[in-house]
Amino acid sequence: MKIFITTGTPEFMEKLQEKFSAEKLFIMYGASHSILLHETEGKTLFQTPRRYEVIGSYGNFEEVGYFVFNHIPVTDEGRPVFEHHFKNHYNILQKRAGFIAFRLLRPLGSDTYIILTEWKDAFSFNQWKATPEYGRVHATETSGAGVDRAAHLFSSAPYITTYQKKKNEEKA
């Protein structure tokens, strides 16, 4: 399975989704832009997408939800350790209230993995983030049990982006 991601205006993403309604396409609305995610065994519909191979998966994406993209740049040497760690720890999520789906995405053409999770809402994700389990899985201490144990694992700092499945219709 592969995932392809492209960015653009909400209107353009919605037109693409309508045009290719037979495909598994998911629009996600962020603070500054929207993305369109294409999950497929075949080829991408996008001209210049970010490309990923799904190497860990649980659940199905739903029409409503809160998506968290944990972007983690990993060195070539660190890839096996990183993948092993997250493949063995994502099952912890299945027991969390509000958890819907998970994808571990291996980059094709870059060094940045994505740990993609869908939650019922932001509150559910923040509850998970406040747990000791989250701290263990995402440990940043070199002596900890998380993925940061080896200094050579990361090529730069990880970061998180979040998206809603439904467009925020409120006007300021």
pLDDT at 135: 81
Tokens 């598994």 map to which residue? Answer: 24
Per-residue confidence (pLDDT) for residue 167, from 0 to 100: 67
For 81, counting Cβ atoms within 10 Å of its Cβ (0-12 exposed, 13-18 middle, 19+ buried), the class is middle
Task: Provide the 8-state DSSP code for 37.
Answer: E
Query: Rg of the chain over CA atoms, in angstroms?
Result: 16
What structural domains does the chain harbor? 2-164 (3.30.70.100)
Conformational region of residue 73, where left means phi above 0, alpha means psi within -120 to 50, and beta covers everything else: beta
Residues 6+ apart with CB under 8 A from 43: none
Q: What is the pLDDT of residue 92?
A: 86
Max alpha carbon distance in the chain (Å)? 50
pLDDT tens sequence for the chain (172 residues): 999 999 998 999 999 999 999 999 999 999 888 999 999 999 999 999 999 999 999 999 998 899 999 999 999 999 999 998 888 778 888 889 999 999 999 999 999 999 999 999 999 999 999 999 888 787 644 444 455 455 578 889 999 999 998 765 443 3
